[in-house]
Amino acid sequence: MNVDSIKNGFVLDHIKAGCGMQIYRDLHLDEIDCPVAIIKNVPSKKMGKKDIIKIDADIELDLDILGYIDPGITVNVIRNDQKVEKKHLSLPEQLTGILKCKNPRCISSTEQELPQIFKLADKEKRVYRCLYCESAFKE
């Protein structure tokens, strides 16, 4: 299967097989007017199978969302047909506007204009806590 190489944009590599569509949606790639390719179940030495997303546009990528979804993803930055940077992601220390606190006693439940901010409390267990009430985020 051939997918055209991209001139200026990003290649999201090492996506867990089957997660490509979720990332497509979470990054709102359906809302941008540019070529985007989702390649599923690509054979991988390291992962067995993986998904890859190619974005042929110099958009502003939210690396926090990507890092939160899967810190194992690598982001290759392409400029003028060349890979100029390879970014390894990690769980972000802070997430703003991505998760929503579900604690009805939290001040953010009544004051809607407050930004929803979560801090990484436990990297190993992937626990994020609300900045205001410290409730752990549950899926």
**Contacting residue, 62, 72, 109, 120, with another protein by CB under 8 A:** 109
- For another protein, the closer of residues 44 and 109 by Cβ is 109
Q: Is 95 in the site for another protein (CB under 8 A)?
A: no
Q: Are 53 and 20 in contact (CB under 8 A)?
A: yes
Q: Is 93 in the site for another protein (CB under 8 A)?
A: no
In DSSP terms, which residues pair with 122 in a beta bridge?
Answer: 127
**Contacting residue, 31, 111, 124, 139, with another protein by CB under 8 A:** 111
Stretch of residues binding another protein (CB under 8 A), selected from 32-40, 48-56, 63-71, 98-106: 98-106
**In sequence order, what DSSP letters do the residues of 30-82 get, joined into one string?**
GGS-S-EEEEEEEEETTTEEEEEEEE-S-----HHHHHHH-TT-EEEEEETTE
Q: Is 8 in the site for another protein (CB under 8 A)?
A: no
Q: Is 116 in the site for another protein (CB under 8 A)?
A: no
Q: Are 42 and 14 in contact (CB under 8 A)?
A: no
Long-range contacts made by residues 86-90, C-beta under 8 angstroms, separation at least 24?
Answer: 87/63, 89/63
**Contacting residue, 69, 106, 116, 137, with another protein by CB under 8 A:** 106
Provide the binding-site residues for another protein, judged by CB under 8 A. Answer: 103, 105-111, 113-114, 121-122, 130-136
